[in-house]
Homo-oligomer: A and B are copies of this chain.
């Protein structure tokens, strides 16, 4: 089945709002195995709308419209689509009562305009709207079976539940197979390196697997088609095993959870806590951890120690260490992690120090050089990042991403790839052969 998405609304053409409906509907249709070939936005203009509908109806089996059903919008969309699909509209008393009920609940009287929203298809079906006054509708072409148009209201709070509750099951029922998707999130391997390792797994027919690169992580989406849900799930999970065999603990979750959510959940489960000491990331790491509801169970203290004297005063980083190696050094990162762990009494301490840019870089210590340290009772690990050609924002985000992964590995007692052990009190020069990451 080939589909297209048509949004009706001048506010989209003026750039006043973002077309989030197109993304939502596209993603949902993709998950159902329905290809979307076009997205179109057109204004509330009879001639242009008619042309768009006419053309789309010719080339696609399924049109999904968003918007154009409001009380001020003249019924243009409904009438145009009804005509194109050989249907007509009728006034629905039951629908009118529902609309009046909404206004009663809001303590207002219904404006006359809203009567228009009670017109529904004669041959097609209406879709109930539990969150607003405009009903949706499904038209089937009366002259060419198997061609459909679905009309949904524009507000996402109305469109999304209507799609999920009514349209999705209806579309799924038309297919003799079921689709299921599973997501693996991968942290600590760059995209190109990952392509090399698992490229051969991305060319499968069923399940399919696709890579999506995000900042400092990669998402693998596995999608299987089968005759029933359980078979599709089994196919996905068997195929996921092949990724696990290659990537192992570089896969940090098989859910929709972000890395910070994953880390907070693991810490809770293990009954461990973490404290953070941040220089160049300035509190971004603690902000990400505390963005997770319930993080107070595993996080009590974060220190944003931007100035050197604050590193000494608050974290007890040694003056000599700062003098000898400079603030951006593996030694200082390690002492920050150890210091914040000690003063907070947390199980794990993290320290981040680096040069986020755009200023402050030198040939020896360029912009994008960041040291991330993670300390537990007996060991401190330090990772050196060299994040070149990226913005301050990306350098900071990538550094916190690495820090979160180090906490995850500490809590799960996993290896810390690319890290050096850094025994406290051994201010040896950081080895130069350390892995330079592609973030």
Contacts and interface: CB of A to CB of B under 8 A. Distances in A.
A283 to B, nearest CB: 3
A306 B290 contact: yes
A286 interface: yes
A216 interface: no
Contacts of A170: none
A276 interface: yes
A289 B294 CA distance: 25
A89 interface: no
Interface of A is mostly: mixed
Nearest to A38: B42
Nearest to A303: B303
Contacts of A378: none
A306 B299 contact: yes
Contacts of A293: 357-359, 392
A403 to B, nearest CB: 13
Contacts of A212: 16
Interface string A22-35: 11111111100001
Contacts of A257: none
A43 interface: yes
A226 interface: no
Interface stretch (A7-15, A119-127, A147-155, A407-415): A7-15
A40 interface: yes
Contacts of A301: 303-307, 310, 314
Nearest to A391: B157
Interface in A270-284: 276, 278, 280-284
Nearest to A41: B39
Specify how many copies of this chain sit in the oligomer.
Answer: 2
A282 B307 contact: no
A316 to B, nearest CB: 13
Contact of A286 (B30, B304, B307): B304
Contacts of A35: 13
A35 B304 CA distance: 48
Interface residues of A, number: 73
Contacts of A302: 282-283, 303-304, 306
A41 B22 contact: yes
A1 interface: no
A168 to B, nearest CB: 14
Nearest to A25: B15
A431 interface: no
A314 B301 CA distance: 9
Contacts of A174: none
A217 to B, nearest CB: 15
Contacts of A291: 282, 284, 392-393, 396
A428 interface: no
A294 B7 CA distance: 41
A20 to B, nearest CB: 6
A115 to B, nearest CB: 18
Contacts of A281: 287, 290
A42 B16 CA distance: 22
A14 B13 CA distance: 21
10 contacts: A14-B26, A19-B39, A282-B286, A282-B302, A291-B392, A301-B310, A301-B314, A302-B303, A303-B303, A303-B314
Given A16-B212, A283-B304, A287-B396, 9 more contacts: A12-B22, A12-B23, A18-B23, A37-B42, A38-B48, A282-B302, A293-B359, A295-B306, A301-B304
Instruction: List 9 A-B pairs, minimum CB-CB distance, nearest first.
Output: A282-B290, A15-B27, A283-B283, A15-B26, A283-B286, A302-B304, A300-B307, A39-B41, A284-B287
